[in-house]
Structure 1
Amino acid sequence: MATREKRLAEFNGNGDPLPDQLVELLCEDHSGTYQLPFACRMIDGEWRNAQSDGVVEATVVGWRLPRR
């Protein structure tokens, strides 16, 4: 299992992404860290699911550009 520090190092987006830029999010809860299974965008200061436009209701601890 990856450590929290290792996962955070992989999601090293600084600041906010460009408007409408698709990114992968790393979130955290009482069980640990996890990557959301869908792309997201930062819109008006809120993280949103890129497909449904729903607000991400999780604690986001990092982001990165999608891996190919």
Structure 2
Amino acid sequence: MATREKRLAQFDGNGEPSPEQRVEVLCEDHSGTYQLPFACRFVDGQWRNDTTGGALEANVIAWRKPREKQPGLA
């Protein structure tokens, strides 16, 4: 299992992304850290699901620009 520090090191976003920027987010709760399986945006001081526009009910601790998918990998 990846440690919190290793996961944080993979998320290199600094400050807040612009509202137009789709990003991947790392969240944390009492069980540990996890990446959400969908893109998000930071709009008006709030993290939102990029597809639905719904506000996240998760504690976002880091973000990064989406990584390109490698052919043949899910």
Deviation digits for residues 10-65 of structure 1 (CA, Å, limit 9, x no counterpart): 11211001222000000000000000000000100100000000001100000000
SS in 2 for 1:15: coil
Structure 1, unaligned runs of 5 or more = none
**4+ residue runs of structure 1 moved beyond 4 angstroms?**
none
**Residue 27 of structure 1 pairs with residue 35 of structure 2:** no
**Residue 53 of structure 1 pairs with residue 56 of structure 2:** no
Alignment of 1:1-68 (within 5 A): 1-68=1-68
SS in 1 for 2:8: helix
Structure 2, unaligned runs of 5 or more = 69-74
Identical aligned residues as a percent? 69
One-letter code of the match for 2:46?
E
Query: Take 1:56 and 1:12, find their aligned partners in 2: how far apart are those partners?
Result: 20
Query: Take 1:32 and 1:12, find their aligned partners in 2: how far apart are those partners?
Result: 19
One-letter code of the match for 2:36?
L
Query: Take 2:55 and 2:19, find their aligned partners in 1: how far apart are those partners?
Result: 15
Query: Take 1:51 and 1:62, find their aligned partners in 2: how far apart are those partners?
Result: 19
